[in-house]
Amino acid sequence: MRHVTKFLRLLCALIACVGAVSAQQSRFYLKDGDRVVFYGDSITEQRFYTTFIETYVVTRWPDLNITFVNAGWGGDRVGGGRGGSIDLRLKRDVIAYHPTVVTIMLGMNDGDVKPYDPALFNTFAVGYKQIVEKLKDAQPGLRFTLIRPSPYDDVTRDVLFPGGYNSVLVRYGDFIEELAKQMKLDLADLNKPVVTALAKANGIDPNLAKRIISDRVHPGLGGHVLMAQALLKAWNAPATVTAVEIDAATGRVVNAENSKVSELTKEGGLSWIQADGALPMFLDTKDPTIDLAVKSSDVVETLNQELLKVTGLPAPSYTLKIDDQTIRTFTRDSLTKGINLAILATPMMKQAQAVHLLTMEHNGIHRARWRDVQVALQDEPSPAVQKAIDALSVLESELIAKQHGMAKPRPHRFQLIPQP
């Protein structure tokens, strides 16, 4: 009878875990099988906010098959740029990938970094709408996320002219928002949230805050974390990685959201095996701009909650070990209130870091194939060009497969050891 009861408890825990994952995924914008193309100028070409988003998705839903392509090209405007005319850019760099989702962020170059010019704005408005219409015609059913452009830094430095250039970008963003409403498309704002965080960062550390957008246009890693957060929030990204609550007094698992807890024992303190359904979002707070961006925003609260709560503990403090690795010592009160494992150097965070490295690697290979071979050698008649393209495509596919494999969470042994 005890074996039957234990089996039923495990089954219920598994069902609850699966149900929590399904509920989170059903609210999230991206779906299994989606192909996402990020379209934009040099800010997108940096491959930072886009890779932060990709790693978040891959680690939060490791069983989903969602692919990501970065199609950013420095200097681009609504009419195209150094990568070719807009028609060529859309055909070669977007439509060729048969996307189901496209994000568009343009405007920084279109306004020429000068006071509002009605002629420039009209060119931008007409061209932007044409981009959407061309993509809609070429790819029926395509879902769009139009993006209010990221800010020109008029916060940590004096404005260049009355009102500042970011006020011009805000006007361009107002047009994009209105277009999204008219055409019933989705919208993300990568301007206001970044400006808000930038102002807070400036109050904390004015010198370091300047490095969040070091040249006033191109964000550093911290700025891209803020941009990734804004786009993910627009896509209804969930905060919860996992949430586990254990009653140490009774030896009972009270809650296990997106996780399964087994082999719970009170010998020598408290220990259990935890098999999670997701990994935390990798945020390298050793980078000073990321650390300041995190302190100046609610990115951890809104995207990265890996909660552990343990009640009924008799000792005043406990050392947490995961796979025999000492993580930190916590007071009983802290554990009773709950701690966020996602801000600690856990084995789960190290695994998420490994996933992000693979994300960066496959994006680098994609850029080399696309920009350095496909485009740069398009007039070269040698058959070796196509062979190089094919070989790099295979290599990227292998790295993506490795990335998805690395994103699958592993079970870990947790221990809470009472301290004298």
403-414 per-position pLDDT tens digit = 999 999 999 999
Distance (Å, whole) CA 217 – CA 75? 12
The pLDDT score that the predictor gives to residue 268 is: 86
Per-residue pLDDT of 247-282, as tens digits, reads 999 999 999 999 999 999 998 899 999 999 999 999
Per-residue pLDDT of 70-120, as tens digits, reads 999 999 999 999 999 999 999 999 999 999 999 999 999 999 999 999 999
Distance (Å, whole) CA 106 – CA 377? 27
Q: Which domains can be identified in the chain, with CATH numbers?
A: 28-234 (3.40.50.1110)
Question: Which tokens belong to 330?
Answer: 């916590």
Could you tell me which residues come within 8 angstroms of residue 365 by beta carbon, excluding any fewer than 6 positions away?
392, 395, 396, 399
Distance (Å, whole) CA 382 – CA 169? 45
Distance (Å, whole) CA 233 – CA 49? 13
CB 96 within 8 A of CB 370: no
Beta strands at 101-105 and 143-148: parallel, antiparallel or unpaired: parallel
The pLDDT score that the predictor gives to residue 385 is: 98
Per-residue pLDDT of 2-45, as tens digits, reads 444 444 454 444 454 445 455 566 799 999 999 999 999 999 99
Query: What CA dihedral angle connects 328, 293, 50 and 54, to 10 degrees?
Result: 20
Per-residue pLDDT of 216-251, as tens digits, reads 999 999 999 999 999 999 999 999 999 999 999 999
CB 258 within 8 A of CB 24: yes
Question: Which tokens belong to 306?
Answer: 């890996």
Q: Which helix (H) or strand (E) holds 57?
A: helix 49-60
The pLDDT score that the predictor gives to residue 267 is: 83
From 22-36, 129-143, 351-365, the region with the lowest mean pLDDT: 22-36
Neighbours of 381 (CB within 10 A): 7
